[in-house]
Structure 1
Amino acid sequence: MTRATNAELAARFEEFADLLEADDVEYKPRAYRRAADAIKAHPAPLADLVERGDEAALDDVEGVGDAISSKIVEYVETGEIEELEELREELPVDIVALTRVEGVGPKTVGTLYRELDVRNLDDLEAAAEAGEIQDVKGFGAKTEENILENVEFARTIGERQLLGEARPLADDVLAYLESLESVERCAVAGSIRRWRETIGDVDVLVSSDSSEVVVEGFVDWNSVDDEIESGPEKASVRVGDVRVDLRVVVPEEFGSALQYFTGSKDHNVRLRNYAIDRGMKLNEYGAFDVSAVEDPDADQRVGDRVAGETEEGMYEALGLPWIPPELREDRGEIAAAAENNLPDLLTREDVRGDLHTHTEWSDGNNTIDEMVAGAEEQGYDYYAIADHAEGPGIVGGVGLSDTEILEQVEAIREVNAASEVEVLAGIEANVDADGEIGLTDAVVEELDVIVASPHSALDQSSEEATERLLTAIENPAVDILGHPSGRLLNQREGLSFDAATLGQAAAEHGTALEVNANPHRLDLWGSAVQAAIEEGATIAVNTDAHRPATLEFVRWGVHTARRGWAEPADVLNAWDLEELRAFLH
């Protein structure tokens, strides 16, 4: 029996959907994608239900019926799904890699396989370079050019995992290691501890005097699918699609190793130079006073060891307060620490509401009542429904017309009257290529909050994109600029823009800039948040939730905002309701 994560299960059903769509199958792909979304959002590992013999509970997961439930059981018990294997044989393409190329969807993959025998990224690149794609019916020179431009990006993003998929696995790893008697302390390190939006692998650090026992217990974990390598003090395994690297250190060096292996490299270089200027030496083994040492580089542990057991002690040895991992990107954090001017970072408990969520009125999966109930469970003071308005980039006819928006406002007011949470009537308008949002005055007057987001024309130049977004920010009807770049991590790059310029305009016109907490977006990102805040802009951390379970995405948004040095005062939905009302249009 394999210990499949929810992310791994969801990936199998997404592949199912893509292969079916590539083979021109109708209806089924949508069902599999809904199931994949539900599985990703489910708070508990579905594999646990199978392992406990409680397969019937799978039917309670939204979007998971008998057919999909049986496939989940089959995958957890055998490591594969027979029907999926048959599809792979019928259409022998690397659908996951190929659909990472912007503009290449499942149907395109199917067509190019049948017409040109394109099976992988190398085949796709070769066909584009040879000018063969533009000769296929329905394609052209522009499509071929776009594919060629995006192949290398698709190769790069395939090497990294989304934070929202890797971090839950890291939490599982920590929970398991903490259960081992030989483990004294453990923590994640590397980019995942700094909460970067994508990570290469999961790095875990353990403190123990019995390193070989820890390594043995780690590789014997029932979630491990493959042991890559192991030694007396470290090991690497594969859990699903993710590599997990373990390193075991003695207790007195746990803090120094945690600081060293957390990074970032640029932060550590600057911190080491800061230490050198003060007669100190920092490395993974500790902090050493080398002021009286003739050759500080003679040995890693040379000099008088003054810290290393705790990470806090490593910074204290330099006269600095502990620097939160999210800030360790060499963007001024060491100078701020030296001046005792580090930010009092936003926490999950500071967030009082969510101002960008969806319902079944557009492309969400639940009713207004069900989403509001989810907000109540989060303990929110206020909560906004912001379904899609009609506009460019909204496919499938899910955008609401003016009449439908006004009808929904009435429905929201009725729910609000019976709710413990203050429910706000909002809309997600579409920022077109010129920065216009396409809402009538009559609609604007009835709404409490307007989120305006780009969904199309995402290939504009940086100058065009900046002007486009400035136009939206300066529109007095717009309260929040939603997911400003429109990027989808590991799928498309989105708009490039000057974040400081947007921040300056947002501060001047009273428009908030969104940190979209969906792990596929995390847009704005850390450095852009920091640039905007430095210009006086207000940030809104929203989940863009399409079902109650994805309101939990706020976790990723909070840590992304922290990477941008955001304090509660900088975040619109950390304010009380009266302050929020005063800010809105």
Structure 2
Amino acid sequence: MTTNAEIAARLEEFADLLEADDVEYKPRAYRRAAENVRAHPSPIADRVAAGDREVLENIDGVGDAISAKIGEYVETGGIEELEELRGELPIDIADITRIEGVGPKTAGKLYRELGVETLDDLEEAAEDGEVQEVKGFGPKTEQNILENLEFARTVGQRQLLGEARPLADDVLAYLEGLEAVERCEVAGSIRRWRETIGDVDVLASTADGEAVVEGLLAWDSVDDEIESGPEKASVRVGESRVDLRVVVPAEFGSALQYFTGSKDHNVALRNYAIDRGMKLNEYGAFDVSSEARSASSSRTESDNDVEDHEVDQRVGDRVAGDTEEGMYEALGLDWIPPELRTDRGEIEAAAAGELPALLERDDIRGDLHTHTEWSDGNTSVEAMVEAAADRGYDYFGIADHAEGPGVVGDMGLADDDILEQVEEIRAVGDDAEIEVFAGIEANVDAAGEIDLSDDVIDALDVIVASTHSALSQDAEAATERLVRAVENPAIDVLGHPSGRLLNERSGLEFDATALGAAAADHDTALEVNSNPRRLDLWGSAVQAAIDEGAVIAVNTDAHRPATLEYVRWGVHTARRGWAEPADVINTWELAALRQFLH
């Protein structure tokens, strides 16, 4: 199955190789098309394969040339012109550009000057001191490359949650349609909503494991069979690996708990069980106290309603396993939501009945950080506001880019442009069904300052201030920078605080506890940016901030109506940080939010 993400990745590779070859203008067009393809709400390949080319005509930024390449890729699995570019520039462009400060132009120059094609080539050249000898480089750049090689290698092995979860939903929908499947659910890091995942793990309960395995292998979306057996199978779907495990119905709950993880959570939970005379594993929860052992010694394995295999894993009296909730209940614990299973105090909270009532998607009343065609968005103010109203929101904020460090090209608005846009936002708001906030996304410079005039600040309803440059600062400098920003009374929301791009750049490291304390003291919200390439703040940072009394804003950073759906990823990221509705300012009623912003 060719996914939108896979098509977008090919267009992005095209853009990178063109830029590495010093081609102007075209790379930007390919990147814009890639972004819109990635965000398209329906599977483009399915419609193109069915002869529906209109879907491509209606995607902003996809002209005749790019449309033809997408069609060629869907039909043949390749793009001839892209293959030619790869031949001219045999660079592992995606891997090399994951190193902070190494973009496509830099990669192209390193290839031409030093013959660097892979991360291994780059590491060897940097260790030999050859990089600093290339014009435009130096010892600092060379050292940065060496320090970021491990990051580049590690992230290349994982897929973004926002790309993998839609595939997981498709797998579940398909399996649920198989007659032999009684229950099925995703497991592993994807069920915990981790920002990146390795494989798509799926668990199914059935009385006929072979039928379910054969059913998965027969799915039209499967490109390759990696391996299969009577109880599990691994297949390749597009660029993703899907791992299926089947279990008998009586063991579905225990297997789901076990294979969801995390490893740290499961180890802590097993130790908690041992202290109480219990044993947990993928087959169930067993009472292994001396009394239970004695009582169960005369029983046969069939008395426990499970198959006669792995008997050594089923010592004692089986007291739970049919349901996941039962596994926790057997230990006297409340059921722990998957997002919290990280061994950060969730077991103790479950034992005390103090687990948080986590944020739900329906709690979100609006979005305070979105973009339009005034900067780098793809549609009008009116269209974005209409889309927000259609979602049932109570309020909505436009926050296009102000000019400043890190904003690409001429996409940032000068003060006069901002004031002009405010007038348009007010006019749209007058006719809208919902409250519309006039905002801006200002740029936090290296010292933690923003550059907006007093007139602009006074005219705006909400100021989101974000980092876009100087992202290689050390942790101490970065913390001081971000703390200074949240101390600024003009700033309402600190946007994507680290500036990271998942699988692309690591962004700033900082003390989330110190930042949370400062934000709480100065009534500044910290953003969970829901763009699946950011998810910034992340779970542990959200938890640290909330523990200090800070509030957060779950915003999408949407650049078109379709990407307002990114809120799904932001909500689950906030849940990983133990966020309750009251911790999130855009769950508040309008009057309370207005009071906070002022």
Q: TM-score, with normalisation over the residues of structure 1?
A: 0.97
- Once residues 183 and 68 of structure 1 are traced to their aligned partners in structure 2, the CA distance between those partners, rounded to angstroms, is 41
Contact 2:464–2:491 (CA under 8 A) maintained in structure 1: yes
Alignment of 1:484-523 (within 5 A): 484-523=497-536
Q: 2:363 aligns with which of 350, 355, 360?
A: 350
Q: CA deviation at 1:430?
A: 1.0
Q: Secondary structure at the match of 1:383?
A: strand
- Once residues 411 and 335 of structure 1 are traced to their aligned partners in structure 2, the CA distance between those partners, rounded to angstroms, is 52
Q: CA deviation at 1:220?
A: 2.3
Contact 1:49–1:58 (CA under 8 A) maintained in structure 2: no
Q: CA deviation at 1:35?
A: 1.0
Contact 1:71–1:81 (CA under 8 A) maintained in structure 2: yes
Residue-by-residue CA offset, 1:18-47 (whole Å, 9 max, x unaligned):
111111222221111111101111111112
Residue-by-residue CA offset, 1:128-172 (whole Å, 9 max, x unaligned):
111222222222222222222212210111011111111111111
Q: 1:304 aligns with which of 309, 317, 332?
A: 317
Q: CA deviation at 1:293?
A: 5.0
Q: CA deviation at 1:298?
A: 8.2
- Segment of structure 1 superposing worse, 81-90 or 467-476: 81-90
- Aligned position for 2:38: 40
Q: CA deviation at 1:107?
A: 1.2
Q: CA deviation at 1:576?
A: 0.9
Contact 2:60–2:378 (CA under 8 A) maintained in structure 1: no
| Percentage of identical aligned residues | 76
Q: Secondary structure at the match of 2:242?
A: strand
- Aligned position for 1:374: 387
- Aligned position for 2:202: 204
Letter in 2 for 1:218: L
Instruction: Confirm whether residue 235 of structure 1 aligns to residue 248 of structure 2.
Output: no
- Aligned position for 1:81: 79
Q: 2:165 aligns with which of 157, 164, 167?
A: 167
Instruction: Confirm whether residue 482 of structure 1 aligns to residue 480 of structure 2.
Output: no
- Segment of structure 1 superposing worse, 550-559 or 211-220: 211-220
- Once residues 299 and 192 of structure 1 are traced to their aligned partners in structure 2, the CA distance between those partners, rounded to angstroms, is 30
- Once residues 516 and 139 of structure 2 are traced to their aligned partners in structure 1, the CA distance between those partners, rounded to angstroms, is 38
- Once residues 178 and 191 of structure 1 are traced to their aligned partners in structure 2, the CA distance between those partners, rounded to angstroms, is 21
Q: Secondary structure at the match of 2:186?
A: strand
- Aligned position for 1:263: 261
Contact 1:538–1:570 (CA under 8 A) maintained in structure 2: yes
Q: Secondary structure at the match of 2:314?
A: coil
- Aligned position for 1:385: 398
Q: 1:248 aligns with which of 243, 246, 249?
A: 246
Letter in 2 for 1:48: D
Q: TM-score, with normalisation over the residues of structure 2?
A: 0.95
Q: CA deviation at 1:185?
A: 0.9
Residue-by-residue CA offset, 1:433-481 (whole Å, 9 max, x unaligned):
1111122221111100011111111111211111111111111111111
Residue-by-residue CA offset, 1:110-135 (whole Å, 9 max, x unaligned):
11112211111111111111122222
- Once residues 41 and 470 of structure 2 are traced to their aligned partners in structure 1, the CA distance between those partners, rounded to angstroms, is 35
Contact 1:356–1:542 (CA under 8 A) maintained in structure 2: yes
- Once residues 100 and 555 of structure 1 are traced to their aligned partners in structure 2, the CA distance between those partners, rounded to angstroms, is 26
Alignment of 1:9-408 (within 5 A): 9-291=7-289, 292-293=291-292, 299-408=312-421
- Once residues 316 and 566 of structure 2 are traced to their aligned partners in structure 1, the CA distance between those partners, rounded to angstroms, is 46
Contact 2:292–2:317 (CA under 8 A) maintained in structure 1: no
Contact 2:293–2:317 (CA under 8 A) maintained in structure 1: no
- Aligned position for 2:6: 8
- Once residues 375 and 298 of structure 1 are traced to their aligned partners in structure 2, the CA distance between those partners, rounded to angstroms, is 56
Q: Secondary structure at the match of 1:299?
A: helix
Letter in 2 for 1:237: V
Q: 1:565 aligns with which of 559, 575, 578?
A: 578
Contact 1:253–1:309 (CA under 8 A) maintained in structure 2: yes
Letter in 1 for 2:224: D
Q: CA deviation at 1:69?
A: 2.3
Residue-by-residue CA offset, 1:180-210 (whole Å, 9 max, x unaligned):
1111111100011000011111111011111
Contact 1:15–1:95 (CA under 8 A) maintained in structure 2: yes
Q: Secondary structure at the match of 2:312?
A: coil
Q: 1:416 aligns with which of 425, 429, 435?
A: 429
- Aligned position for 2:565: 552
Residue-by-residue CA offset, 1:306-340 (whole Å, 9 max, x unaligned):
11111111111112221110011111111111111
Q: Secondary structure at the match of 1:282?
A: strand
- Once residues 78 and 220 of structure 2 are traced to their aligned partners in structure 1, the CA distance between those partners, rounded to angstroms, is 17
- Once residues 40 and 159 of structure 1 are traced to their aligned partners in structure 2, the CA distance between those partners, rounded to angstroms, is 20
Name structure 1 gaps, 5 residues minimum: none
- Aligned position for 2:305: none
Instruction: Confirm whether residue 434 of structure 1 aligns to residue 447 of structure 2.
Output: yes
- Once residues 496 and 399 of structure 2 are traced to their aligned partners in structure 1, the CA distance between those partners, rounded to angstroms, is 13
Provide the aligned C-alpha RMSD in A: 1.5
Q: CA deviation at 1:511?
A: 0.6
Contact 2:445–2:467 (CA under 8 A) maintained in structure 1: yes
Q: Secondary structure at the match of 2:120?
A: helix
- Once residues 361 and 311 of structure 2 are traced to their aligned partners in structure 1, the CA distance between those partners, rounded to angstroms, is 46
Q: Secondary structure at the match of 1:468?
A: helix
- Once residues 366 and 533 of structure 1 are traced to their aligned partners in structure 2, the CA distance between those partners, rounded to angstroms, is 35
Q: CA deviation at 1:388?
A: 1.1
